[in-house]
Amino acid sequence: MASDQIYGYLPPVEDGFGEEPTSKLRLRVINGHQLAKKDIFGASDPYVRVDLSTINGDETVDSVLTKTKKKTLNPVWDEEFIFRVKPAEHKLVLQVFDENRLTRDDFLGMVELTLINLPKEQEGRVIPPKKYILRPRSGYSARSRVRGHLEIYHAYIRDGGSDVSSAEDPTDERDWEVLSNYTTESASQSFASPADTQSVPLPPGWEERQDANGRTYYVNHLARTTQWERPTFSNTSNSVEVQEQRVLDQAADFERRFHISADDETNSRRDSLASAGPVCINFVFLVTSNLYLLVKLVLVRLLA
């Protein structure tokens, strides 16, 4: 649903200096998928708040809301907004909320979108929408868990005015995990980012987790290590072999140290007896002889 209204930055009018260079950005909030359940009956009433903010987040330039979709975890908004922006100074923050009439609206997740390196609309060029994984607020309590993703379209509008053009390479979005351009049905089964394809299952012994800031990391329970890069069967096969060899080496080393320790203990006892000299040996002989005589005397008396 398009609108002729232009939101965002309003450049000041300064006589003699001309207009401040800006760009017009088309943003279409298409849908959400597999959002978190917040209502008692297992659904939500989601809407999206779009904020145009400064890069450091100190100032909100303008805000706009989508309509609320009732009782769904897969809302379809399909609402379009035009923002006037300064790409090097602004960013878009999309926050999804569950509308509540009696209490404060529940937070369902957010996406931060930098405005540098976004594509620009051109005649004959097809720019597909993208799916962004929803993230919790930075430093927000872990009890407000989020899930799902937003599908949005964003591109600079081709304008013959003073608008500055965006970078021609639209793929440099390394800071944000983007879902591949699948259909809504297939998106529930496969997620992708610039560095990996999460539809491939993790190798045995690995687990995917998220930290308090919503960043995804991976735990290797076999080696008891963690890493940011998603593991695959190809890059873990060698590590598994190394781990198995390490276990075998540790077992062999333990067995070798055990035998050395046992031999040392036997030699220590033997050396301690030898170091006692003739006195210790004579004492042992005397005790043995007396014990023999005592046993012999007892047997004689029993037989008498």
On whether both 152 and 273 belong to a single domain, the answer is no
Residues 169 and 118: their CA atoms lie apart, in Å, by: 8
Identify the CA nearest to 82 among candidates 16, 18, 159.
159
- 202 CB burial (10 A radius; 0-12, 13-18, 19+): middle
User: What confidence tier does 118 reach under pLDDT thresholds 50, 70, 90?
Assistant: very high
Strand partners, 31: 76, 151
The pLDDT confidence band at residue 194, using thresholds 50, 70 and 90, is very low
pLDDT at position 191, please?
Answer: 40
What is the overall mean pLDDT for the chain? 75
* Nearest CA among 111, 119, 158 for reference residue 136: 111
β-pair type (6-8, 76-85):
parallel
Choose among 166, 160, 157: nearest CA to 81.
157
Q: Give per-residue pLDDT as tens, 198-230.
A: 456 788 888 877 665 556 778 888 877 888 788
129, two tokens: 């929408």
- Which residues does residue 62 pair with via DSSP β-bridges, in sequence order? 52
Q: According to DSSP H, which parts of the chain are helical?
A: 184-187, 233-275, 277-303
Most confident of 65-74, 96-105, 188-197, 202-211: 65-74
Residues 36 and 102 in one domain: yes
Per-residue pLDDT at 279: 54
Residue 204 domain-assigned (yes or no): no
44 shares a domain with 150: yes
Last residue of a domain, one of 194, 211, 245: 194
Contact (CB, 8 A) for 143 and 36 = no
Residue whose C-alpha is closest to residue 45's, from 56, 32, 58: 32
Whole-angstrom Cα distance, residue 163 to residue 218?
43
| Cα 17 to Cα 82: distance, rounded to the nearest angstrom | 25
Number of structural domains the chain divides into: 2
Domain match, 78 and 140 both: yes
How many C-beta atoms lie closer than 10 Å to residue 164's C-beta? 13
- The answer as to whether 39 is a domain residue is yes
**Residue at 156 is within a domain:** yes
**Within 10 Å of residue 207's Cβ, how many Cβ atoms?**
11
Other C-beta atoms within 10 Å of 37: how many?
14
DSSP assigned state of 73: S
Same domain? 242 vs 157: no
**Contact present, 44 and 36 (Cβ < 8 Å):** yes
**Cα–Cα–Cα angle for 277, 278, 283, rounded to 5 degrees:** 110
Contacts of 193 (CB under 8 A, 6+ apart): 177, 178, 179, 230
Domain co-membership, 189 together with 243: no
Residues 122 and 189 in one domain: yes
Residues 25 and 77 in one domain: yes
Range name among 78-82, 127-131, 145-149, 220-224 with the lowest pLDDT average: 220-224
CATH of the domain at 167: 2.60.40.150
Structural domain boundaries, residue 43: 6-194
Is the pLDDT at 240 greater than 70? The verdict is no
